[in-house]
Structures are given as structure tokens and as C-alpha cells.
């Protein structure tokens, strides 16, 4: 239900959504009624779409007629129509018998933030009988989103349970439309989440979210936030005064006092068990020679 009382309010069940404007998108339908397709034996469907073969070669019921793009009733994207066109040229003139493959199809909705997907959703995978094990990672764990001060969004990976093959990648984030290409390549290359987690990633890009989501299958994604907090604490205390610290509070009396102060301060704020290996590594570069 929609009501207008100054702003527009959309009521969906027990939830209400308010906005200044409302866009009603009802979709698009092929306009084929006046093309005389019946006269040449080309079958159309209930919405006017040209019926193409189940083999996805884009041939019609007339062996000399092919269909491409939105008129087929297939996903209505420019990149789909472009792929159709190249495929049909090869099939019609070169008898290549090529088939269109939608397994890694990217879909992008240019909202704020952007919504981008490649491959299957978890619901689609289950519907196909694929046993999957998904992970969802919020952008509060992604360095790019943190420094941009916009952690709205998430990334979701959908791999097949037994093999680990990635069958779906979904990203809601600023810049998701550019980053989703990594998901397309992962699906087309039959990569597993383990391979994705061990691959290279560019730091401080939104694409790193996909890598972090793959890491979350075997590691705690909160470790990235802990590392960020440790780094910030070290920088904040970089000009701290030398303060003597009891030897029992530091594993090595050979470290300069400033480093020992940093270690104790960070352990108290973030917890010794999870942070110790990070702080020890971070501080080893500033260790003074033995005297």
C-alpha cells in the first residue's frame, strides 16, 4: 500500500518506507506484434518474446531466423545483447554451434550504494539442487569502506559445499559494479573459495571485500579490524614519552621503553591473546640493538 502525507509512504507488511519520490518500474516487454513473424514461422511467447531453442544457440523455429537481445526474453542487459550478437554471427554464418552461458552473468543496479551480482544467488543454487555454504561479510571489515567512512553494504559468497567452487558473488557497496568483475572471473575459472582466499588482492580497493569474504571461510574477519586498531594505536603513540615499564609486562627487556609502553597499552585496550602476534611483528622493526 502507498499513501501520500507530504512524503510518500510505502507500507509492506508491518514495515513502512518513506521517501520524497517513488519510481514504479514495471519492466519491459518485446514489441513484436507488427513484425509478421507468424508468416515466416517464427514462434512468439505470451509476452511477445521470440521463442529461441532450449539449447541456448538463439535459433528460432525458423532455421533461417535468429534472435538476439531483449526480444528473446532473456536477461535485459546491454552486455547480454552484445554477447548474443557476436554468438549469432558465428552460428548463422560460421555454423559454430556456440551456446550462450549465463552461469557467471554480471548484473548491476546503479543505486547508492551499488548492487552487483555474478552467478547464482543462494536461493537459486538451492533451487537447482546445489548444496551450498554461504558467507556474508559486512563492509565494516573492509579497509576501503572504513577509510571512505561509508560502511553501508556487504559481500556474500555462494560456493558449492563439497567442492568449494564459487557459484555466486554478490556485493553491495560503492564501486561494486567495477569490483564484480573479479567474481565473474572466479566463477568462469571454476575457482574455489580456498583459491580465491590465497590469490592476490589490491589493498584499499572495494574488490578486497571479495578476498576478505573468501578468507572468512577459515579465519575470523574481525582480525582485519583488530589489525587496523593496532596500527592506529601505534601511530597515535608514535610520539609518546619514554615511560619505564616493569620487566614482567614485556616479553623482552631489550626493547626500548617506548616500544614496551606501546605493547602494554595496546594489550590493555584490545586484549593480549589476539593482538600479541600482530604487535610483536609490528614492533620488531623498531627493536634496538643489544647493549
DSSP structure string for 137-174: EEGGG-HHHHHTT----EEEEEEBTTT-BEEEEEEEET
Contact 29, 48 (CB under 8 A): yes
Q: Mean of the pLDDT values across residues 201-205?
A: 93
Q: What is the predicted pLDDT for the residue at 21?
A: 87
More confident residue, 259 or 148: 148
More confident residue, 169 or 247: 169
Q: What is the predicted pLDDT for the residue at 218?
A: 87
Residue 129 has pLDDT above 90, yes or no: yes
Closest of 105, 157, 161 to residue 136, by C-alpha: 157
Rounded Cα–Cα distance for residues 107 and 176 (Å): 11
Q: What is the predicted pLDDT for the residue at 200?
A: 93
Other beta carbons less than 10 A from residue 49's beta carbon: 18
Residue 124 buriedness (CB in 10 A; 0-12 / 13-18 / 19+): middle
**pLDDT band per the 50, 70, 90 thresholds, residue 163:** very high
Chain segment 217-261, per-residue pLDDT in tens: 988 765 545 555 555 554 555 444 443 434 334 444 444 444 443
- Does the predicted model carry a pTM greater than 0.95? no
DSSP structure string for 13-46: TTEEEEES------------TTS-GGGGT--B-T
**pLDDT band per the 50, 70, 90 thresholds, residue 2:** confident
Q: What is the predicted pLDDT for the residue at 29?
A: 87
More confident residue, 171 or 53: 171
Chain segment 58-70, per-residue pLDDT in tens: 999 999 999 999 9
Residue 145 has pLDDT above 60, yes or no: yes
Amino acid at each position: 500500500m502507498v499513501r501520500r502525507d507530504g512524503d510518500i509512504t510505502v507500507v509492506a507488511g508491518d514495515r513502512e518506507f518513506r521517501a520524497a519520490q517513488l519510481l514504479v518500474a514495471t519492466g519491459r516487454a518485446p514489441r513484436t506484434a507488427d513484425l509478421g513473424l507468424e508468416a515466416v514461422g517464427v514462434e512468439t511467447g505470451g509476452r511477445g518474446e521470440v521463442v529461441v531453442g532450449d539449447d541456448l544457440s538463439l535459433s528460432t523455429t525458423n532455421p533461417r531466423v535468429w534472435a538476439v537481445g531483449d526480444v528473446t526474453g532473456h536477461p535485459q542487459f546491454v552486455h547480454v545483447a552484445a554477447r548474443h550478437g557476436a554468438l549469432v554471427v558465428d552460428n548463422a554464418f560460421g555454423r559454430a554451434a556456440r551456446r550462450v552461458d549465463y552461469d557467471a552473468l554480471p548484473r548491476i543496479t546503479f543505486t547508492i550504494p551499488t548492487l552487483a551480482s555474478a552467478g547464482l544467488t543462494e536461493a537459486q543454487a538451492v533451487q537447482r539442487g546445489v548444496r551450498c555454504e554461504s558467507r556474508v561479510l559486512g563492509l565494516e571489515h573492509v579497509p576501503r569502506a572504513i577509510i571512505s567512512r561509508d560502511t553501508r553494504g556487504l559481500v556474500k559468497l555462494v560456493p558449492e559445499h563439497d567442492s568449494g567452487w564459487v557459484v555466486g558473488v554478490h556485493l553491495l557497496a560503492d564501486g561494486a559494479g567495477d569490483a564484480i568483475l573479479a567474481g565473474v572471473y572466479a566463477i568462469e575459472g571454476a575457482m574455489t573459495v580456498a583459491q580465491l582466499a590465497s590469490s592476490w588482492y589490491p589493498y584499499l580497493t572495494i574488490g578486497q571485500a571479495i578476498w576478505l569474504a573468501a578468507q572468512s571461510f577459515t579465519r575470523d574477519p574481525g582480525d582485519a579490524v583488530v589489525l587496523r586498531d593496532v596500527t592506529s594505536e601505534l601511530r597515535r603513540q608514535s610520539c609518546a614519552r619514554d615511560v619505564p615499564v616493569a620487566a614482567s609486562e614485556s616479553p623482552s627487556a631489550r626493547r626500548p621503553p617506548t616500544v614496551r609502553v606501546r605493547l602494554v597499552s595496546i594489550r590493555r585496550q584490545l586484549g593480549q591473546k589476539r593482538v600479541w602476534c600482530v604487535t610483536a611483528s609490528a614492533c620488531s622493526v623498531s627493536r634496538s640493538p643489544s647493549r
